[in-house]
Structure 1
Amino acid sequence: MSANYYAPTGGHPPQEQLLTDRAIFTDAYAVIPKGTMRDIVTSFLPFWDKTRLWVISRPLSGFAETFSQYIMEVSPGGGSDQPETDEGAQGVLFVVEGTATLKVNSAEHTLVEGGYAYLPAGTPWTLHNTSDEMLRFHWVRKAYEAVPGLDHPEVIIANENDIAPTVMPETDGKWATTRFVDPTDLRHDMHVTIVTFEPGAVIPFLETHVMEHGLYVLEGKAVYRLNNDWVEVEAGDYMWLRAFCPQACYAGGPGKFRYLLYKDVNRHMNLRLSGAK
């Protein structure tokens, strides 16, 4: 499956542009439109050369609770020999533009557009842009919740173009999910997948569930139901959905509507609120 992934490029709007946009931040959900991802809101990280990023989720009271998500932009010759400074953090990388040279446990991998890497907590890795073009990729991070008696997951290197999507039942192939991890593998406590809707396809009920979500629209446009609101979204937009936030969507076309989806899975609920004794 060939894909046209949207990636932000920054820049700055002219003074003549209207301030009105679709940005929304509520206790139940947030919408961060692609137009907000400008030069002025980029961040930088220790030990990363020729690199900037947009932070689109972070653990925060009233916002994401289980994960962070970055859109990384690495210029030619840039990268890091010490990318992850938290030994307890696992990560998923997904390339939307350019080519990444990823070295994991001394094995070198080339990730092109559609490339995916799962990096278990404590795994040594490096990443560089050895090409002449800009590299842009998503980096999802979560503190790994180990379970006694369960081994830690292994490294996974894949590309979505090599994986057959799993079609949702009774949808005639109009709604499908590309899975990089076996959903029955309980060693994993987070999944990052790609969801695809054909034009006119819908989520035909208000999903209300325990999983927290981060959704980055890779391609297309749709109307998304978030709590009590219908919100238009398009390629480059990002949505955060709190656990149990009612959600559904209608893919209006004319092309496919596709998004990169994060969710936390396969663990008991923490019965002690943060800070409680």
Structure 2
Amino acid sequence: MRPHQLPVTTGRFPPGAIGHNRGVVRPNYAFMPPEGVLISRLPHFSGTIVRILAAPVLGAKFAQYLLEIAPGGGTPEAFREEDIQHFYYVLSGQGRFVMAGMPACDLRPGHFAYVPPGTAFTLSNTGSEPLRMLGLRKRFEAIGLPAPEPILSHRDEIPVTNHTGADGRGFQFLLPWGDMRFDFEMNLMWFKPGAHFPDVETHVMEHGLYMLEGQGLYFLGTEWHEIWAGDFIWMGGYCPQQFYPTGFADAAYLLYKNVNRDVAL
């Protein structure tokens, strides 16, 4: 009998709970299952709990969050940050997003927003269930080009492409691919059962990965980790990495990576 099959008394932990942990933190990557990430709150959000998935204290050059906004909660007033850009992706629930220069958007799962640096926005839960969203903040790296325009869209409006030619792969570039004004990408990566990376990748780009659907094995550094929906991975530059889906259904994750800028010396 496995520990999860044993009877559990209300208010007590199941047998085997102490010391068992899939979470790993290494110098250039971190694997974090949701059960170990404690909640916090943010001063510019009301009725909201937040789990901070990545931050500079970890080694990341960006910050990534999992937000859970209660009905009626959100930003009490317009919020903006000079030189800081934001990205939001709706996981579940309903809400409303208002951003300077754009029509208001009623949110449902799959909606996303890119907020340019210095742009004011408001975000609220208009439904009866929690609004769950991924959020990301990154300092903008200006290079003399105009700042990008704001974006409010839905993943269903983004074509699924496959530039690799490999069977079973799919890519959705949520931000305009190849537009040098942007200093990061947010991509939905799709895998049919049996599809995988052809090689172990080792590159300068940093990643924040949130598993949306399915399951698989992720190679990080010198170790394999079993990844499920709701898990998060931070990968620093030059972290060896590879993904292999293991489930019977499609696997998908949302991937951040920094692009389009030279190396700072």
Deviation at residue 236 of structure 1 after TM alignment: 0.7
Residue 258 of structure 1 is matched in structure 2 by: 252
Does 2:161 match 1:166?
A: yes
Indicate whether 1:203 and 2:197 are aligned: yes
Q: Deviation at 1:130? A: 1.6
Q: TM-score, normalised by structure 1?
A: 0.87
Contact 2:44 2:79 in 1 (8 A): no
Other structure's SS at 2:201 match: coil
Residues 157-191 of structure 1: per-residue CA shift (max 9 Å, x gap): 1111222211142212x111111122210000011
Name the counterpart of 2:94: 99
Question: In the alignment, does 2:38 pair up with 1:52?
Answer: no
| 1:63 maps to 2:59 | yes
TM-score by length of 2: 0.91
Please tell me the residue identity of whatever aligns with 1:211.
M
Residue in structure 2 matched with residue 30 of structure 1 by the alignment = 30
SS in 2 for 1:53: strand
Instruction: Give the length in aligned residue pairs.
Output: 253
**How big is the alpha-carbon RMSD for the aligned residues of Structure 1 and Structure 2?**
1.7
Q: Residues of 1 paired with 2:33 and 2:12: CA distance? A: 17
Task: Flag structure 1 segments of 5+ consecutive residues without an equivalent.
Answer: 1-11, 272-277
Question: C-alpha displacement at 1:13, in angstroms?
Answer: 8.5
Q: Which residue of 2 aligns with 1:140?
A: 136
Matched, 1:86 2:81: yes
1:84 is displaced (CA, Å) by: 4.3
Residue by residue, what CA displacement relative to the aligned partner does 1:14-71 show, whole Å, maximum 9, x if unpaired? 423513021100012110012224xxx11111131111110000012x521x210000
CA distance in 1, matches of 2:92, 2:26: 31
Give 1:118's match in structure 2, choosing from 93, 114, 118.
114
C-alpha distance in 2 between matches for 1:266 and 1:14: 51
Tell me whether 1:220 sits opposite 2:214 in the alignment.
yes
The answer to whether the Cα contact below 8 Å between 1:100 and 1:130 also exists between their aligned partners in 2 is yes
The residue number in structure 2 matching 1:275 is none
Say which SS state the counterpart of residue 233 (structure 1) adopts: strand
1:15 aligns to 2:13 (yes or no): yes
Q: Which amino acid aligns with 1:22?
A: R
Q: Encode CA deviations 1:65-120: one digit per residue, 9 max, x unaligned.
A: x2100000100010104464532210110000011201111631112100011000
Letter in 1 for 2:35: G
Is the Cα contact below 8 Å between 2:97 and 2:122 reproduced in 1? yes
What SS does the corresponding residue of 1:161 show, helix, strand or coil? helix
Deviation at 1:249, TM superposition (A): 1.2
Q: Residue 89 and residue 254 in structure 1: after superposition, are their counterparts in 2 closer, same or farther (change >3 A)?
A: same
| CA deviation profile, 1:186-217 (whole Å, cap 9, x unmatched) | 00001111111111111010111111001010
1:223 is paired with a residue of what secondary structure? strand
Change in CA separation of 1:83 and 1:221 when aligned onto 2, cut-off 3 Å: farther
Query: Could you tell me whether the CA contact under 8 Å between 1:198 and 1:253 is conserved in 2?
Result: no
For 1:238, the aligned partner's letter is F
Whether 1:267 aligns to 2:264 is: no
